Amino acid sequence: MINQIAPIKPINLESGINEAQGNNSKINNFSDFLKEALNKVNDLQLTAIQNDQKLVTGEIDDINQVMIDAAKADIALQLTIQIKNKLLEAYQEIMRMPL
């Protein structure tokens, strides 16, 4: 049986914030939003590691799901690194501005 691939939904930042607020985790400021996002990236990484361990021990037979979870974790980590780099560049640019 061939699994159907779910269609990719476009990213909508406002709906993401509303979703996060609806999950009993009220986001009041940017630092809370950032913490929540980093926690989600961490959860993806932990899931990928756990799936790798389960695949090695034979608890999971579906290698496709393991590879998908690993790819999700990798993409989320790469995005986080790129966002960090852009924020650092912006901070450095602001610090170079004359008073």
User: pLDDT at position 5, please?
Assistant: 58
Residue at 52 is within a domain = yes
Residue at 12 is within a domain = no
Residue at 13 is within a domain = no
Residue at 17 is within a domain = no
- Domain count of the chain? 1
Residue at 50 is within a domain = yes
In contact, 64 and 3? CB cutoff 8 Å: yes
The 10s digit of each residue's pLDDT in 20-76 is: 555 545 557 888 888 999 999 999 999 999 999 999 999 988 899 999 999 999 999
Residue at 14 is within a domain = no
Residue range(s) defining the domain that contains residue 50: 34-96
Residue at 70 is within a domain = yes
User: pLDDT at position 99, please?
Assistant: 81
Pull the structure tokens for residue 24. 């009993």
Residue at 27 is within a domain = no
pTM: 0.66
